[in-house]
Amino acid sequence: MGDRKYFGTDGIRGRVGQPPITPDFVLRLGWAAGRVLGGEHGGRVVIGKDTRISGYMFESALEAGLSAAGLDTHLLGPIPTPAIAYLTRTLRARAGIVISASHNPFDDNGIKFFSAEGVKLPDATEEAIEALLDEPLTTRNSASLGKAYRVPDAAGRYIEFCKGTVPNGLSLEGLHIVVDCAHGATYQVAPAVFGELGARVTSIGVDPDGLNINEGVGSTRPEALQDAVRREHADLGIAFDGDGDRVIMVDAGGAVVDGDELLYIIAAHRHGNGGFPGGVVGTLMSNLGLELALQGLGIPFRRAKVGDRYVSELLAEEDWLLGGETSGHVICRDRNTSGDGIIAALQVLTALVERGETLASFRQGMTKLPQTLVNVRVERMIDVHASPTINDAVTAVEADLADCGRVLLRPSGTEPVVRVMVEGEDDQQVRELAERLAHVVREEAAGGDEN
């Protein structure tokens, strides 16, 4: 990924109006993508977006670029990212394009792509698109230009799809759920899904104005959901991020249930229903408590690099069905091809209803170990794994944990920071060991500068 000029691990993202997130670049991106994806035969591409005000501008730019390359565009409007993956497949499109910056503030935006199969584009295809971005933009002859269509029932199609991912006859009747849509892409869809399955729904974060996406609400700001669940005396709460591929939940007492715990609930329920095929994929940051709880059930567990792209790749490699991140990206490959907040929440609700348990009681099957993360800012990045001093310090910390914990050093890929994470059984010990190891990293980095 390091050789690419524009594409990162999750498409192209940045501040609106600053390169590359500008109308002229997105126009050329649409054209280049159309040339690569459509070739000489054209076809259709679907475009969906979240609720950011800049989405209108970038939707038009993409449409123009794709038309110049000879592809038709089917515009889905504001709709969750996983819905775009689903509709790309069902509409037999050559690709799906998402206009979103996920959990970022409104003045950021981004573009990412799904293949015809509803998964991230192969590296070779992204590289081919990049190779065309610096070439002069040309247009097809007028008779071959692409057309644009609105898909007025896009949200309705996705609502029905989501409802179809739970067992026939499952009812959420009797459950009072607070749903926080982050003023984002799920604002029309999520309350309808849970309500039509029988739940009593109280909605917050469902009044987007183009500027308030993720502002004080959503999965990255759970305080609003916690307050609403307590105030409404609800059974539980569900919060999505701005584009709907991430979810966290809140139990009746207001305690946050993160992605690790949601993975455990889904896996444990499926295991209890007659076996769990394959295993679960987490990341390097997944809590050790998840690994130990799954181990107790006899369910294999593997860790991918941080990022839902890497979780998805490892799931495909292992041919497993369930994986995700602590942040709430949960991928149920037997339900959808991408991380899907609504579908993940439905899998958890299915477990609660069929087991007759509350969210608070079911989560007790997994005990999260205390985890401390220290971000060590350094003037110059060092190879932490090649330093004898740091390696000795890690060995000493691991010895203090006595096989009842975990140590992770992870250089940031975007800033001069080394992330030092320590997990263990004793909260005070974990914090002290993390600070001790962070001090060694800080000193080693400073010493390297002096040389």
Rounded-to-integer distance, Cα 142 and Cα 329, Å = 43
6, burial (CB in 10 Å: exposed 0-12, middle 13-18, buried 19+): middle
Q: If DSSP codes are grouped into helix, strand and coil, which group holds residue 423?
A: strand
CA distance 338 to 83: 9
Strand pairing report for 148-150 and 72-78: parallel
Instruction: Tell me the two tokens of residue 349.
Output: 């609700």
Query: Is the dihedral angle over the CA atoms 220, 205, 339, 287 positive or is it negative?
Result: positive
Q: Based on the number of CB atoms within 10 Å of its own CB, is 300 exposed (0-12), middle (13-18) or buried (19 or more)?
A: middle
User: What amino acid positions are annotated as catalytic residues?
Assistant: 102
Q: How far apart are CA 352 and CA 266, in angstroms?
A: 10
H/E element, 385: none
Q: How far apart are CA 265 and CA 32, in angstroms?
A: 43
Cβ atoms of 426 and 401 within 8 Å: the answer is no
d(CA 296, CA 258): 20
Strand partners, 419: 375, 410
Q: Where are the beta strands (DSSP E) in 127-219?
A: 148-150, 176-180, 200-204
- In this structure, how many other beta carbons lie within 10 angstroms of the beta carbon of residue 275? 9
Between β-strands 44-49 and 322-324, what pairing exists: parallel, antiparallel or unpaired? unpaired
CA-to-CA separations, 311 to 49, 89, 101, 232, 371, in angstroms, rounded? 23, 21, 19, 36, 21
Closest by Cα among 86, 69, 91, 330 to 219: 330
Q: Which two tokens stand for residue 296?
A: 């107790």
Report the alpha-carbon distance of residue 172 to residue 187 in Å, rounded: 20
Alpha helices for 273-367 (secondary structure H)? 288-297, 308-318, 341-355, 359-362
Cα–Cα distance measured from residue 449 to residue 176, given in angstroms and rounded to the nearest whole number: 58
